[in-house]
Amino acid sequence: MSSALVGSSLVSSAGATLGCGDAPVLRERGQREVFCGLTGIIWLHRKIQDAFFLVVGSRTCAHLIQSAAGVMIFAEPRFATAIIDERDLAGMADANDELDRVVDQLLARRPEIRLLFLVGSCPSEVIKLDLSRAAERLSATHMPQVRVLNYSGSGIETTFTQGEDACLASLVPILPRETPGAAPSLLVVGALAEVVEDQLRRLLEGLGIGDVWFMPPRSALALPPVGPNTRYLLAQPFLADTARALEARGAVRLPAPFPLGAEGTTAWLQAAADAWGVTPERFDAVTRAPLGRARQALARHREQLAGKSVFFFPDSQLEIPLARFLAREMDMRLIEVGTPYLHRQHLAEELAWLPAGTALSEGQDVDRQLDRARAARPDLVVCGLGLANPLEAEGIGTKWSIELLFTPIQGYDQAADLAELFARPLNRRLRLRV
Ligand code: SF4
């Protein structure tokens, strides 16, 4: 089936029959408005406390991470940019020497660093540099104190949450092997705020699921062991490469929706409970109180959000789980749910939960999408920073999708905070009108 739009196509694929499991998806390939993968450094550097992110890039890259992270810096940051100025191929040997010198200086000044990521970017001078070879060379020099890894955060290859995927995938080869005959372990994959991680750990341990690990870990000294006895749960929907790398090591994914909202969190925990044979009585005993609190806290926001319409521009890859939460738990109306990439396997449970007939789009042709949003006049648009101001100026309420990465939103205790992120811009507009 093809649409009338040039440069776009409507694709239907066989799959689940519930919800939107087999719904047609509008695929668009045009101009995109999205941050590059360097943005992930802003939350990743706070998570792995003995890691350092050295962007090998240009002044533009340095500006991006400084301005995006600037307001949050309260201590010496764990990231920096090694600026590779314009140089031709003959100058590449110098560039490698320069990189080695910068790394030597950095490690001498910051002896607490245990893991150093060299992060590639898009300037042509950087593309010419072989960062994986540089990482190997520097690892050999600084072993065993420091491991040096590399990944790309280039805007040509990555959107902003794919930077986390590339970073975590680069970690997989150095994860220890699990001990032969070890009891099954559970690995939660995807950066979560520490408060969320602690809550989820308590719930999983309450269910009797032992040996729970989180990736990324808080320290490079606590890397999770991985092998065929590892069962893993994705905590974020944008980790396709990391999942592939874990599975190549024998780990098995537990299919589940994402832990957003009361319902998503329950189903996510249930997936682990089923794999560990937890009884329904124990599951109920552990989840009843926090689930009840979450439902109660959500009711307050539902009053305000119910019936309001929302339009998602593709940005973080969180769009489908968020849309599911807003539609099912907040009774909002979904006008269009755009996502940069639609991973049908990882999102199968989420798609099945979306209201039938939800308009889904993958990729972007920003002008066409803006036309659709303007025509629909939604109450709220979830989009990147670049689109928010013009839409606000046209009288359409917006929510910056990047906030959903910086704010703890997963789990029962954060369900109401998640709803509030969408209620706040609507409140503000209401007050302005009054
Ligand atoms: Fe810009 Fe590319 Fe640097 Fe990102 S990696 S800031 S897109 S130059």
Digit-coded pLDDT (tens) for 290-345: 999 999 999 999 999 999 999 999 999 999 999 999 999 999 999 999 999 999 99
**Whether the CB of 64 sits within 6 Å of ligand 1:** yes
Q: Which atom, in ligand 1's list, is nearest to the CA of 60?
A: 6
Reduce the DSSP state of residue 410 to 3 states and report it.
strand
Mean pLDDT of 15-32: 76
Per-residue pLDDT, averaged over 245-249, amounts to 98
Share of the chain above pLDDT 90, in %: 73
Separation of CA 109 and ligand 1 centre (Å): 27
pLDDT at 175: 97
What is the predicted pLDDT for the residue at 339? 95
Give the position, in ligand 1's atom list, of the atom nearest the Cα of 63: 6
The 3-state DSSP class for residue 5 equals: coil
Q: Is residue 8's pLDDT more than 60?
A: no
State the Cα–Cα distance between residues 41 and 167, nearest whole angstrom.
Answer: 9
Closest atom of ligand 1 to CA, residue 155: 7
Taking the complete model, does pTM exceed 0.85, yes or no? yes
Residue nearest to atom 6 of ligand 1 (CA): 61
| Cα(349) to centroid(ligand 1), Å | 34
Rounded to whole angstroms, how far apart are CA atoms 185 and 390? 48
* Residue 247 neighbours by CB distance under 10 Å: 15
Residue with the bigger pLDDT between 92 and 369: it is 369
Average pLDDT over all residues of the chain: 90
- Please state the length of the chain: 434
- Give per-residue pLDDT as tens, 337-387: 999 999 999 999 999 999 999 999 999 888 999 999 999 999 999 998 889
**Burial tier of 87 (Cβ tally within 10 Å: 0-12, 13-18, 19+):** middle
**Beta carbon of 66 within 6 Å of any ligand 1 atom:** no
- 50, pLDDT greater than 50: yes
